[in-house]
């Protein structure tokens, strides 16, 4: 197998989830929200291999159940219909009927088999979908491949987001250029194993369903499942990957020589979207990245990194530009992983504050200057092994409370 270090992944500047061959999109204003686009779809010219991962919240919303039903038929999807403004979660049998009816309406409009359609919703929990408005919105959808069509879809899935999340990369696989693009929404209730986030990833790679699901599940653990905003998980979170095979190369499987290339392409795409979600946390002013090395195993490193970035005390210290490394070591100690407490290093950016568990004298002025930046890195060395892990989150500001205190109004 090819080593990851030798793999060249190229960022496609100005690219989007419509950059891979054969994908179209649309977004319209259907009246589910006030004067904003709120219904969108992604359409592949041909049925695409599909993999998905979902929230672990026990109250999974109706759209998830319908999407699971669709994908289970043959591992392929040709269209995804998404709406914002209403999560269609905790809506009982009526909610499930509405999700299936949404799928039927899309199938009818675009002359597709129902099982080739996935459904995604985001918004207020416990409210039934306004089906007349949604049906009218579906009728307005006219997918295209222009950048404005991508923007229309991206706008239609936003809730409290302050920005659209988009990314695109390419790589050489089996002698062909394979492109992968993605978009996502999410800014609050983010504490994956995923939460209030939706991500849609498209690629023209040719891959079998089992391999794609294996790859997505593996990559999700190191990307979407390593972000946190507020420690809450939601009911609708889903990541879809659609691979329509239009790059026209040999079918990829884990045994293929270029399998590591595809996995790295998927990883950088997912990590890019995950970091954008974390950066856009409700009320956030800074993106925080925590890198842990020297752990006994990768899981320990990931758990500790996420514990640190998820600590409200760490998040508020970053917001206040307070170089309080004691909050970081306290977060490490709260995990269930075995730590050599006598030999831990901690640095905030370039400033080492703890070495071998011994506090160092550092410049408070230098630390303040660094912590006023909008991208903050925290480094931890456990000196306990060779494994590493990363996690991403954001600071916790006064605006987070303002936004969530009036979410329904």
Tell me if 173 sits within 8 A of 258, measured CB to CB: yes
Measure the CA–CA gap between 18 and 147, rounded to whole angstroms: 8
Selecting among 49, 159, 166, 196, the annotated active-site residue is 196
> Could you confirm whether 196 is annotated as catalytic?
yes
Alpha helices in 255-384 (DSSP H): 259-279, 298-310, 312-319, 325-334, 364-371
Measure the CA–CA gap between 409 and 405, rounded to whole angstroms: 9
Question: CB 115: neighbour CB atoms within 10 A?
Answer: 18
Angle at 239 between CA 335 and CA 43, to 5 degrees: 170
> How do strand 39-54 and strand 238-243 relate by DSSP bridges?
antiparallel
> Which stretch of DSSP H or E encloses residue 381?
strand 375-381
Instruction: Count the alpha carbons within 13 Å of 281 in the hemisphere toward its beta carbon.
Output: 34
Q: Is the dihedral of CA 18, 15, 154, 215 positive or negative?
A: positive
Mind giving me the DSSP string for 89-152? -S-HHHHHHHHHHHHHHHHHHHT--GGGEEEEEBSBTT----HHHHHHHHHH---B-SHHHHHH
List residues with catalytic annotation.
196
């Amino acid at each position: 197998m090819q080593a990851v270090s030798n793999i060249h992944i190229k960022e496609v500047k100005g690219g989007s989830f419509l950059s891979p061959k054969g994908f179209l999109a649309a977004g319209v204003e259907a009246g589910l929200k006030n004067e904003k686009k709120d219904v969108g779809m992604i359409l592949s010219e041909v049925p695409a291999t599909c993999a998905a991962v979902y929230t672990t919240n026990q109250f999974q919303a109706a759209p998830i159940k319908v999407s699971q039903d669709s994908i289970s038929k043959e591992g392929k999807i040709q269209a995804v219909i998404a709406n914002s403004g209403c999560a269609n979660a905790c809506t009982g049998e009526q909610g499930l009927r509405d999700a299936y009816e949404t799928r039927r309406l899309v199938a009818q409009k675009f002359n597709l088999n129902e099982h080739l359609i996935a459904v995604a919703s985001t918004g207020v929990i416990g409210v039934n979908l306004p089906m007349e408005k949604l049906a009218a919105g579906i009728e307005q959808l006219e997918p295209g491949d222009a950048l404005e069509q991508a923007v229309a879809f991206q706008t239609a899935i936003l809730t409290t987001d302050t920005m659209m999340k988009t990314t695109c990369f390419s790589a050489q696989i089996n002698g062909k250029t394979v492109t992968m693009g993605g978009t996502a929404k999410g800014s609050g209730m983010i504490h994956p194993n995923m939460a209030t986030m939706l991500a849609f990833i498209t690629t023209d790679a040719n891959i079998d369903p089992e391999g794609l699901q294996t790859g997505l599940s593996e990559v999700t653990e190191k990307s979407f499942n390593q972000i946190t905003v507020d420690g809450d998980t939601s009911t609708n979170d889903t990541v879809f990957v659609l691979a329509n095979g239009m790059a026209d190369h040999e079918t990829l499987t884990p045994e293929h020589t270029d399998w590591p290339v595809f996995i790295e392409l998927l990883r950088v795409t997912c990590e890019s979207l995950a970091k954008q979600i974390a950066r856009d946390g409700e009320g956030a002013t800074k993106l925080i990245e925590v890198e842990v090395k020297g752990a006994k195993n990768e899981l320990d490193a990931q758990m500790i990194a996420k514990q640190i970035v998820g600590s409200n005390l760490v998040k508020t210290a970053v917001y206040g530009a307070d170089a309080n490394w004691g909050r970081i070591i306290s977060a490490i100690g709260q995990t269930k992983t075995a730590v050599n407490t006598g030999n831990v290093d901690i640095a905030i950016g370039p400033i080492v504050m703890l070495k071998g568990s011994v506090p160092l004298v550092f410049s408070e002025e230098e630390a303040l200057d660094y912590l006023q930046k909008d991208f903050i890195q925290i480094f931890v060395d456990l000196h306990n092994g060779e494994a590493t892990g990363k996690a991403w989150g954001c600071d916790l500001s006064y605006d987070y409370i303002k936004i969530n205190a009036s979410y329904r109004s």
